[in-house]
Amino acid sequence: MNNFFREGKIRAAVRENRCRSGIPEWVRETKEPKWYFYQWTLVENPGTCFENYLAVQLAAACSSWSEQGHGRFEVYYLRDQDRREVDFMICKDLKPLAIIEAKSSLQSWPSSLVYYCRKLQVPGFLVYPGDAEAPVQRKDALGWSVPSSRFLPGLILD
């Protein structure tokens, strides 16, 4: 298992308060960066496995968008000094574009997702494993709870 962790890791970069453009100064670098693994199928916990899967998909989408010339896209782990955290923040040219929380099932929005949607004034998504028949729910004017089978195809740009 140790080789898996050494060979398969990708870092979800954390934006630090030195960033001048777009990312607010109150977003701090964490002492422990969050790590994700390309081989998400080897992760035993279903919630952690799904989060790793989504991390790889988002990283691939950001890389693709950047390579296609749509801007500089990056995925970050978001956490502030009050320990509020969201799994992913997608940025375009260092400006927050959307925030995403991965959950193992459809559930109510975590308070940190609501907080960051309001604070950053960007849409939020609670993404959970589900097929095309799984429900999509609107969360006030903040964003959506959406199954991965409907969220992930939306990452492909024409």
Parse the chain into domains and list their residue ranges.
2-155
- d(C-alpha 96, C-alpha 85), whole Å: 15
pLDDT given for residue 32 in this prediction? 61
Confidence check: pLDDT of 19 > 90: no
Cβ atoms of 126 and 118 closer than 8 Å? no
How confident is the model over 39-82, as pLDDT tens digits?
Answer: 888 888 898 899 999 999 999 999 999 999 999 999 888 888 88
Dihedral of the alpha carbons of 18, 115, 96, 22, in degrees to the nearest 10: -40
pTM tops 0.95, yes or no: no
**Model confidence band, residue 33 (pLDDT cutoffs 50, 70, 90):** low
**Model confidence band, residue 2 (pLDDT cutoffs 50, 70, 90):** very low
Between the CA of residue 3 and those of 35, 37, 132, what are the distances in Å? 15, 12, 36
Q: Which two tokens stand for residue 20?
A: 């001048």
Kindly report the CA angle at 1 between 12 and 127, in degrees rounded to 5? Answer: 40
Confidence check: pLDDT of 147 > 50: yes
